[in-house]
Structure 1
Amino acid sequence: MNNLAEHLSRYQFAFTASYHIMFPAISIGMAWFLVLIHGLYLKTGKSGYFRIYKFWSSVFAVNFAVGVVTGIFMSFQFGLNWSGFAYAAGPVLGSIIGMEVMTAFFLEAGFLGIMLLGWNRVNKKVHFAATFMVALGTLISSTWIMGANSWLHTPAGYDIRNGQFYITNWWHAVFNPSFFIRYPHMLMASMFSASFLIAGISAWYLLKNRHADFARTCFSIATGVITILIPLQMWVGDNLYGKMSVYQPAKTQALEGFWEDTPNAPYLLFVNPDQQNQRNTVQIGVPYMGSILTTHSIHGTVAGLKRTRPDEQPNMAITFYFFRVMFLTAILIFFIAMTSVVLRFTGKLYTKKWFLRLCLWTTPAGVIATIAGWVTSEAGRQPYVIFGKLRTSAAASVLSNGEVVFSFTLFVVIYLGMLGAFIYYISRLVKKGPELLHETLKTDSMKKELFTAGLPGIVKSSYKN
């Protein structure tokens, strides 16, 4: 493959992977939110929790469906644009992804039908169990996927035969050195993605003074999850940075934006890197903050990218700026979390309009941070697709520029169309609100609650007194 076609293939994969990652991230977080809500409904018997469950399960269903479709497209790219990678890593990744399908996808698919269609057909405890199994499936799926992706960063437990990688130790391959720190980081990113979506929509209802009880409960839980997790996520992120500075030092060198080792380093907010001449033509930063954040010492020395020879260096601009997006979004999330604590204790969590507007406008904050973190991780691994073992240039298929432009354009058109349809449907669902389209109440002996909300046609009650 020529150099332009290779770069276009990289951008195509980055686009499709970034698009796809949004939906599994939201699904993981929202699945466990539904488990919590269903558990509260079982414990309290309050119909309000059932109303919340029905609404967000509809959002979950649409999100899950789009995630499955976009994930299928991803697999085609390995053979289309990255045949060298598919040949070399196929025995490893094919085995791990195959296990993901067998242990997680089938579990999710099997219980999803009960979760979405099972009301009035199974009792509440069985339905809760189905919801839990779907959430467990998302957790198992993420374990295999993060194991496979982490293997590309820190390959272990393998042998090479005829140019192909084969697993010789499953434990070492899946639970490779970077897995144990990257995995919790991604799981919490998923919780943020779902929590900000829930908080943003709930804030919109509160601003519009609609469905107040529903919105307060959802907003309280979402902001509570964000508040609990953001300090932990920042601690995990700091540890991940330390680990990757050992496993992939060029990545952490590039994301700091320095070429030379720099004591008393500023935290750079803007750079204009000249990779060819190994220098920054412009750089702007906050004095000493780079050393404080990176080395935890005001006089610490931040490593420069010149420590890595030029042909082993990742693209500084891409790595630097996507890391800044992730980090600064995390700072914004921390501000929102701390503000929510103050407002919660002063009784103004649901009434401070500026805060509600902030939460509304930051609805995609979790997704943005997740995508930015993923791009930082993958771009920082370059010029390798399997770090230290297989260069990206050797992994690419032999394609012309026109062929890659055609496939890239097709992916962009299809994916943007799907995104538009997704946003349109979710917007309609939100505008409609968690209406109780049908409700019939009975006590345990003579009453039952029946609610329908969400996807038209998915949940319809034919129950009669």
Structure 2
Amino acid sequence: MDALFLSRMQFAWLIAFHILLPAFTVGLSCYVATLEVRYWLGKDETVRRLSAFWIKIFAISFGMRVVSGIVMPFQFGTNWSRFTDATSNVVGALLAYEVVTAFFLESAFLGVLLFGRKLVPQWAHALSAVLVALGTVLSSFWILAVNSWMQTPAGYQIVDGRFFPLSLSAVIFTPSFPYRLAHTVSAFLITTAFVVLAVGAYYLLRGAARAESRIMMRMSLLLLALFVPLQIMLGDLHGLNTLQHQPAKVAAMEGIWETQRGVAASLFALPDAEAEKNHLEIAIPKLASIYLTHDPNGEVKGLKEWPRQDRPPVAVVYFAFRVMVGVGLLMLAIVLTGLLLWWRGRLFDTRWYLRACQVSGAFGFIAVVAGWTVTEVGRQPWVVYGLMRTSEGVTPSLTTLDVLISLAGYVLAYIIIFGGGFVLMRPMSAVSNADGQATLAGGSDVP
């Protein structure tokens, strides 16, 4: 329980909650933009009511995202000053670009989106929605550029212990960046689609807002039918890239200790870092080599290739990876079942499936947090992979008491932030009976 460990726990607490909001708002902004363009072209009042409902949800989520995100940069100065001092010439510029190009764009046009329905032409309202969506995607671009540079650093030189950029394009477009960007943004879109699917199922089970609910389920299933298989392909490409640039992470993900060919895929095991082996392992022969190297006899390095101090925490990475993959398979099952029911004309009245869709609303968030855990814990013990250890980035003057106080404060603050968001959103999910007809409670336009 030293200052380093508590600082890592504090960062994990903050980012684990904060990442839920970009995972939702990036996809939701794209969904709202699609609805607004659809209403502009078709003038369907059902689509307008649906868009008004989700705009309110987006506004609250955006506010929570901003407030929870403000805390993140402060940690670089308070808890990770040596990391900041060493990398500020690279990381600082990318974070500044995120504010100038992304945050300014989405915050400027959010006002038009929230309050401009009756004040601007519909084409302008739809354009504001598109620009807000563009801003959220740009924000992901810059944040993932920072993270990818920390994972696979490139385009730098080290002078007196500090990193200086040699090429901005090389700093941004590191070897892992294209795969990480595509995989993450796709995950965000899938997360939102499952939330929309769950909300549509929720209202259908209560006999409310049937027209809006049918649109929600159809649109979300169409997107998921495209992106869930695409995400599997992107995950495979990302895995091949990780095997090339961060092989120790892949070895931890798979629980591989010995370098070997024809590696079995471990379905379940209890990794033992001290004994350097797995207990109670259930594995499928050669399968890991097939999906990691696309060769049944492909070679994969084991964790024993690296000194103990250079290995990531194996158990955390191993189980987080299986949670991510397991949830992904559940997602695929929900989508395939939905498409089958849709083809048979039973999508909107099969109650067991609608209940399953309600539960699936949390799947995307679970997968995103699990994937983040694999990515970040699998990078350890490096804060800049292979160049700067996490222990070298912490503020030297920090005491355990300092971090305990700030961690307690952040925990309390996040409970208030997320609790307040829940209180604000809860009434919107209620069924409103307007003129004797059950409708979306939050489906009226923002005045």
State the TM-score bracket (shorter-chain normalisation).
over 0.9
**Counterparts in 2 of 1:8-407, with a 5 A limit?**
8-286=6-284, 288-298=286-296, 300-398=298-396, 399-407=398-406
Percent identity at matched positions? 35
What is the DSSP-based 3-state SS (H/G/I as helix, E as strand, rest coil) of the residue aligned with 1:273?
Answer: strand
What is the DSSP-based 3-state SS (H/G/I as helix, E as strand, rest coil) of the residue aligned with 2:19?
Answer: helix
TM-fit CA distance, 1:288: 4.8
Hey, what's the Cα distance between the residues in 2 that align with 1:455 and 1:14?
Answer: 36
Hey, what's the Cα distance between the residues in 2 that align with 1:4 and 1:257?
Answer: 28
Structure 2 counterpart of 1:431: 430
Structure 2 residue runs of 5 or longer lacking an equivalent are: none
Pick closer, same or farther for the CA change 1:435–1:150 going to 2, 3 Å.
farther
Pick closer, same or farther for the CA change 1:25–1:271 going to 2, 3 Å.
same
Pick closer, same or farther for the CA change 1:217–1:435 going to 2, 3 Å.
farther
Hey, what's the Cα distance between the residues in 2 that align with 1:263 and 1:164?
Answer: 40
TM-fit CA distance, 1:286: 4.5
What is the DSSP-based 3-state SS (H/G/I as helix, E as strand, rest coil) of the residue aligned with 2:163?
Answer: strand
Moved more, 424-433 or 138-147: 424-433
The code of the aligned residue for 1:43 comes to L
The code of the aligned residue for 2:405 comes to F
**Is the 2:152–2:245 Cα contact (8 Å) retained in structure 1?**
yes
Pick closer, same or farther for the CA change 1:300–1:172 going to 2, 3 Å.
closer
Hey, what's the Cα distance between the residues in 2 that align with 1:452 and 1:312?
Answer: 54
What is the DSSP-based 3-state SS (H/G/I as helix, E as strand, rest coil) of the residue aligned with 2:74?
Answer: helix
**Is the 1:452–1:459 Cα contact (8 Å) retained in structure 2?**
no
Structure 2 counterpart of 1:410: 409
Structure 1 residue runs of 5 or longer lacking an equivalent are: 438-450, 461-465
Hey, what's the Cα distance between the residues in 2 that align with 1:435 and 1:261?
Answer: 66
What is the DSSP-based 3-state SS (H/G/I as helix, E as strand, rest coil) of the residue aligned with 1:354?
Answer: helix
Structure 2 counterpart of 1:445: none
**Is the 2:106–2:131 Cα contact (8 Å) retained in structure 1?**
yes
Residue-by-residue CA offset, 1:352-403 (whole Å, 9 max, x unaligned): 1111111101111111111111110111111100011110010011322222
What is the DSSP-based 3-state SS (H/G/I as helix, E as strand, rest coil) of the residue aligned with 1:119?
Answer: coil
Hey, what's the Cα distance between the residues in 1 that align with 2:383 and 2:435?
Answer: 51
Moved more, 229-238 or 410-419: 410-419
TM-score (norm 1): 0.91
RMSD of equivalent CA atoms? 2.2
The code of the aligned residue for 1:71 comes to G
**Is the 1:54–1:452 Cα contact (8 Å) retained in structure 2?**
no
TM-fit CA distance, 1:67: 0.4
**Is the 2:264–2:288 Cα contact (8 Å) retained in structure 1?**
yes
**Is the 1:269–1:284 Cα contact (8 Å) retained in structure 2?**
yes
The code of the aligned residue for 1:420 comes to G
**Is the 2:145–2:177 Cα contact (8 Å) retained in structure 1?**
yes
**Is the 1:51–1:436 Cα contact (8 Å) retained in structure 2?**
no
TM-fit CA distance, 1:296: 3.9
Pick closer, same or farther for the CA change 1:453–1:113 going to 2, 3 Å.
farther
**Is the 2:249–2:379 Cα contact (8 Å) retained in structure 1?**
yes
Pick closer, same or farther for the CA change 1:302–1:172 going to 2, 3 Å.
closer
What is the DSSP-based 3-state SS (H/G/I as helix, E as strand, rest coil) of the residue aligned with 1:113?
Answer: helix
> Aligned residues, how many?
444
**Counterparts in 2 of 1:446-461, with a 5 A limit?**
454=442, 459-460=446-447
TM-score (norm 2): 0.94
The code of the aligned residue for 2:402 comes to E
